């Protein structure tokens, strides 16, 4: 019997119930991993589009188990330290440790920088950046204990350049790059790698939410904002799965402190 690439590994994924997080959870489960799936499971005031539900988390658990793997699900907020701590502890109790963190939970919204309220700014930063910090804070000790591990922060092309009407989003995604670079230096001695992933737009339910707020369609949002050189308005979630599988695997064992760009040429000068 052939060995799957992530047999015996445990992966902690935030924003796991839909979109990129769900796709990565299922993709790694197919490769033998057990999954700790963390998601808010309810709507928040900002941005005012529909988000994942607890039913989505339950469905993910069923789908992972249908692949012959195990899943621990947790409905919580990445901004809440007790939620994060409890989810990590519950997952470690079930699986014995954590090998990979895919820090994916995030929001996006539009607004000129001078028109954003302080609450809107702080919500974006706290979910996209502080949430990544909090989850890593509680996962890292388990990676150190095991003597290996990989942290992948899902940033964006907006983490490497600015976009009009997305200053708070861009700032949060740039912040993940700084966090990852510093952690890569801190954790190298423990054989723990840290990488940021920078996709162009991805075809997920978030686009539908942004389109609703803008009074347009998801494909128009993608075509307006992408600027991809290759002839595609967006990536598919499968493209993110392939990238995460590579970064998390031994094939990328000397990759750390890097920015893995998957941009269809958008950032090319």
Q: Identify whether 219 is part of a domain.
A: no
Residue 184 lies inside a defined structural domain of this protein: yes
Whether residue 86 is contained in a domain is answered as yes
In whole angstroms, what is the distance from residue 171 CA to residue 160 CA? 10
How many independent structural domains does the chain possess?
1
Measured CA distances, 146 to 142, 143, 208 (Å): 6, 5, 40
Inform me whether the pLDDT recorded for 226 exceeds 70. Answer: no
Query: Are 264 and 200 a contacting pair, CB within 8 Å?
Result: yes
Active site residues: 169
pLDDT digits (tens, 9 = 90+) for 101-160: 999 999 999 999 999 999 999 999 999 999 999 999 999 999 999 999 999 999 999 999
Question: Would you state the pLDDT for residue 2?
Answer: 61
* Full domain range(s) for residue 34: 10-207+237-258
Query: pLDDT-derived band of residue 200, with 50, 70 and 90 as boundaries?
Result: very high
Q: Is residue 269 one of the residues assigned to a domain?
A: no
pLDDT band for position 48 (50/70/90)?
A: confident
Q: What is the pTM of this model?
A: 0.96
Domain contains 1: no
**Residue 214 falls inside a structural domain:** no
CB atoms within 10 A of CB 211: 17
What distance in Å separates the CA atoms of residue 41 and residue 74, rounded to the nearest whole number?
A: 9
CATH of the domain at 196: 3.40.50.720
Tokens 């964006």 — which residue? Answer: 156
- pLDDT tier for residue 1 given thresholds of 50, 70 and 90: low
In a domain, residue 249? The reply is: yes
The secondary element (H helix, E strand) that includes residue 151 is strand 149-154
Look over the chain and give the mean of its residue pLDDT values, rounded to a whole number.
95
Burial label, 212 (beta-carbon count in 10 A; 0-12, 13-18, 19+) = middle
Separation CA 13–CA 43 (nearest Å)? 19
Give residue-wise pLDDT tens across range 61-89.
999 999 999 999 999 999 999 999 999 99
CB-count burial class (<10 Å; 0-12, 13-18, 19+) for 132? buried
Between 73 and 53, name the one with better pLDDT.
73
Residue 74 lies in a domain: yes
Answer for the pair 76, 83: CB distance below 8 angstroms, yes or no.
yes
């Amino acid at each position: 019997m052939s060995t799957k690439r992530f047999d015996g590994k445990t992966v902690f994924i935030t924003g796991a119930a839909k979109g990129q997080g769900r796709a990565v959870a299922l993709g790694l489960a197919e490769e033998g991993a057990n999954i700790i799936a963390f998601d808010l499971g309810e709507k928040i005031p900002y941005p005012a589009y529909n988000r994942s539900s607890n039913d989505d988390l339950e469905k993910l658990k069923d789908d992972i188990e249908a692949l012959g793997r195990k899943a621990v699900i947790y409905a919580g907020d990445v901004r809440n330290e007790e939620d994060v701590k409890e989810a990590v502890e519950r997952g470690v109790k079930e699986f014995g440790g954590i090998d990979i963190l895919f820090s994916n939970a995030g929001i996006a919204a539009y607004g000129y920088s001078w028109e954003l309220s302080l609450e809107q700014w702080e919500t974006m930063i706290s979910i996209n950046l502080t949430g990544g910090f909090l989850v890593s804070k509680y996962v890292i000790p388990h990676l150190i204990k095991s003597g290996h591990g990989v942290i992948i922060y899902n940033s964006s092309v907006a983490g490497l350049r600015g976009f009009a009407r997305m200053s708070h989003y861009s700032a949060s995604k740039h912040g993940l790059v700084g966090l990852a670079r510093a952690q890569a230096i801190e954790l190298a001695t423990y054989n723990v790698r840290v990488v940021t992933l920078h996709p162009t737009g991805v075809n997920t339910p978030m686009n539908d939410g942004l389109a609703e707020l803008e009074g347009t369609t998801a494909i128009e949002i993608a075509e307006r904002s992408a600027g991809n050189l290759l002839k595609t308005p967006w990536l598919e979630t499968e493209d993110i799965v392939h990238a995460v599988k590579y970064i998390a695997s031994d094939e990328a064992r000397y990759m750390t402190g890097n920015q893995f760009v998957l941009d269809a040429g958008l950032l090319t000068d």
